[in-house]
Amino acid sequence: MSRLGFNKSVVYHGETCLGELDVIPAGDKNFQFPNNEIRIHHISQISERCSPLSVLLTISPSSVRCKLESSSSSSSSPVMQPLLDLHAACFYELKTAVVLIGDEEVHLVAMPSKLKRFPCFWCCLVPARLYDSCLWMLNMRCLSIVFDLDETLIVANTMKSFEDRIEVLTGWIGQESDPIRVSGMTSELKRYVEDRALLKHYSENDAITDNGQTYDVKMEEVPINAAGDEHVIRPVIRLPEKNIVLTRINPEIRDTSVLVRLRPAWEDLRSYLIAKGRKRFEVFICTMAERDYALEMWRLLDPGCHLIAPKQLLNRVVCVKSGARKSLLNVFQDRNCHPRMAMVIDDRLKVWEEKDQPRVHVVPAFTPYYAPQAETANAVPVLCVARNVACNVRGGFFKEFDETYLRRVSEHFYEDEVLNLPSAPDVCSYLMPEDASFVPNGTTNVPMAEGMNASEVAHRLNQQDARNVDLKSERSQPIVPSVSIYGSSSFRSMIASEKPSLLGPIQATDILNKQRPGYLPLSHGTASSFSAGFQPLVSEAKTEEVFRGYGLPGKNLLQVGQLPDVGVAHNQPYLNSKRGSADSGNSNMLQPSLSIGVLQEIGQICGSKVEYRSVLSSNREYQFSYEVLLTGEKVGFGMGKTRKDAQQKAAENALRSLADKYVSYLISRSETVTKDHDNQPAEGENGFLWETDSDESEADEMRHSSSLTSQQVQKRVDSSRIGGKS
């Protein structure tokens, strides 16, 4: 080993001088201890099962900066005894000696030596406090999980948001002539009206009547609110059989009353996270909602504070400025976890920084008003799939960590080169990455956001006296879908349901323009509307510092830009697009890459959405399976080794099926016309979208094969999303 360029440094523990060691450059040739003094601030915690080096390389793979060794010819010299004692204590008790340099820590890791050259250390540089957090998690076999709130775990509405949605739906129904669509929208409208009536009764009387039974409010104590105040009391009514909770964000202002629908199977996921009193995941929240609202929504989901302790709430519920990207580095700004040890559950992917997107498990948006059947349409509920994904991620991570990584780290000696160190496991290796162009269920056009306007709640919270509020004069314009699928929750994709495309050719903007001349459309949805004064939680300087601490480039990743506006206008009339399949070429056999586009155009011409519904596959070779639905009816099915291949195969089979049915329809109609020229098709008949017996039997077989057992489903099959959007 070349010893050129090294210098000597005196080692202190507190004010006690332990001796002198040579500093040998390793990963960073320019690294130096201040004033050539190694001042040990403290000794780290004792590790129960992980070597300190394995932890340090997990949180910072390139953290080794230099090596320390004795220049004394005799390691048994009395002068070296304090350093020998330090080395032995750290080596056998799995501890490190920690030197503080600014907001970073240098950990002196006691290493074994092939040449019996003791004392000898490797020096690893990591952000302050990160080692202690990750050491505890790795010893406890615990990872981190980050939840979004709105349309991922809950949907919440105020009286105003209910009224806006009822007004929009009423306008659409008045302009619709298709009886099927009218029926679907009427059912949706009924659900809104019923919940509005519940909320109105609660807001005015602090009680509700449901199915002839009266429920009075119960005063629930809030552990802490956004201002840090304790012992806030809120009037709450819970209807667990309906997954409904009614609460008041500001107990003094009745206009902040909210009806919250909790996503089914949340209790199954929550129970897994804390089963048998053992934490499998450290829980965090990252949302674009207003802070008091976010804290209350989480309290409703975790009323006993079992997932996040009260003293941790303000740090673990992270609210991001609307339009900015979510980032795991912001979520872990207190350095309580490393991003490579975390996964995310969200209904949108693109709201996350690109480097974090491989860690996101995308779930379908929760749409209890538009598609209440969606949560029960699959053999396994959406949040149960998320639970299984989390279980597989944790199992895969620690299987590799225990069986491979720890062994490989233990094989390294002081004399080895630091460039040959093993790579630590990473959560993203056990999550199926989302294809950036993937559109779950084949649709980006959700009719309208189902959640409340968060800026409305923020506005109400800032009012000093609710009695002076004139609701009619303050009532904002109806919510209209915006043109970006990323900037507004209007376009969050949804899981396929029995409900056909309700809002096909209707131009909602035109309707509302006629109803309200001169109106200005508002951005809406809890995830996108906030008061203008809301500031990002982490400054650019701090973010850059944390990036650098994680071993990531700084400036080029620090720009928190606006989300891309690449959506499809929801109000674009479907019938204006007249491009037929003939534009794709004259060949009778379409290329697979064209099948999806051609099928989408057929749906546009028919005024219907083409929806792709993911189903669990029992085929080990083809892990992805999709059904294609047109106007809510299954028209094709396909399997593939990748999500894209499965979708293309499903689209190709759907085109063949539609063609066969259409030809059969033409033949039968021709025979009928020959017998009776005056015979007309039955009203509403489209001639080629009928289900066949073979389709029904195939669907039954798929439902049977998608029963989820640990033997049938591979480790990563759960990561093939049932659907979701980003």
For 457, phi and psi rounded to 5 degrees? -65, -45
Residue 565 buriedness (CB in 10 A; 0-12 / 13-18 / 19+): exposed
Assess contact for 519 and 444: CB atoms under 8 A.
Answer: no
Assess contact for 523 and 449: CB atoms under 8 A.
Answer: no
Domains, in order of start, for the chain:
8-138 (no CATH), 144-396 (3.40.50), 603-668 (3.30.160.20)
Nearest to 432 by CA among 637, 144, 722, 200: 722
Cα dist from 152 to 53, 253, 491, whole Å: 38, 27, 14
Task: Kindly tell me the sign of the dihedral angle through the C-alpha atoms of 670, 672, 673, 679.
Answer: negative
- Three-class DSSP category at 582: helix
Task: Kindly tell me the sign of the dihedral angle through the C-alpha atoms of 566, 501, 645, 616.
Answer: positive
Residue 29: count other Cβ atoms within 10 Å of its Cβ: 9
> Tell me, what's the pLDDT at 555?
33
Helices 159-175 & 508-515 angle (0-180, nearest 10): 110
> Tell me, what's the pLDDT at 523?
31
**Cβ-based neighbours of 503, under 8 Å, separated by 6 or more:** 172, 181, 185, 445, 447, 570
Question: How far apart (Å, rounded) are the C-alpha atoms in residues 630 and 443?
Answer: 11
Beta bridge partners of 285: 147, 317
Cα dist from 180 to 493, 505, 658, whole Å: 21, 14, 21
> Tell me, what's the pLDDT at 568?
29
Nearest to 81 by CA among 115, 119, 108: 119
* Count of all residues that appear for the chain in the document: 726
Question: How far apart (Å, rounded) are the C-alpha atoms in residues 243 and 240?
Answer: 5
Terminal-to-terminal C-alpha distance of the chain: 52
DSSP 513: H
pTM exceeding 0.85: no
> Tell me, what's the pLDDT at 559?
33
> Tell me, what's the pLDDT at 495?
31
Question: How far apart (Å, rounded) are the C-alpha atoms in residues 647 and 420?
Answer: 41
- In which residue ranges of the chain is pLDDT below 70? 1-6, 72-77, 228-230, 433-447, 452-593, 616-621, 623, 663, 665-726
Question: How far apart (Å, rounded) are the C-alpha atoms in residues 485 and 443?
Answer: 11
Sheet of 633-640: strand order equals 610-615, 624-630, 633-640
Beta bridge partners of 232: 222
Residue-wise pLDDT for 227-281, tens only, equals 766 678 999 999 999 999 999 999 999 999 999 999 999 999 999 998 877 889 9
Interior angle at CA 406, CA 404 and CA 411, nearest 5: 95
Residue type, 701: E
> Tell me, what's the pLDDT at 618?
57
> Tell me, what's the pLDDT at 563?
33
> Tell me, what's the pLDDT at 542?
39
Which residue shows structure tokens 């225990």?
Answer: 402
Q: How many helices (H) and strands (E) does the chain have?
A: 18, 22
For 23, phi and psi rounded to 5 degrees? -100, 115
Beta bridge partners of 156: 260
Question: How far apart (Å, rounded) are the C-alpha atoms in residues 29 and 36?
Answer: 15
Question: How far apart (Å, rounded) are the C-alpha atoms in residues 482 and 555?
Answer: 32
